[in-house]
Amino acid sequence: MNITVPKKLLSDQLSLLERIVPSRSANPLYTYLGLYAEEGALILFGTNG
C-alpha cells in the first residue's frame, strides 16, 4: 500500500498531537503516536501514556 500525504497537512496534524506526547520519552514516536490507513482515510492518534 502506498500513501501520499501533503507535507504541510501531515506537519499540521503532527503539531496538534505533539501537545499531548511527553517530550522526555526515549522513543516518543513509537510509544505515543500512531497512524493507520483505512478506506481512503489516514488516521493519526496520540496518547500521553
How many alpha carbons lie under 13 Å from residue 33 in its C-beta half-sphere?
A: 18
In angstroms, the first-to-last Cα distance of the chain is 29
| Structure confidence at residue 28 (pLDDT) | 53
| Structure confidence at residue 17 (pLDDT) | 80
Between 16 and 49, residue with greater pLDDT: 16
Phi-psi region of 13 (alpha: psi -120 to 50; beta: other; left: phi over 0): alpha
The identity of residue 14, as a single letter, is L
pLDDT digits (tens, 9 = 90+) for 3-43: 788 889 888 988 888 777 766 666 555 567 788 888 888 88
Instruction: Name, in order, each residue with C-beta under 8 angstroms of 46's C-beta and a sequence gap of 6 or more.
Output: 17, 18, 20, 21, 32, 33, 34
| Structure confidence at residue 8 (pLDDT) | 94
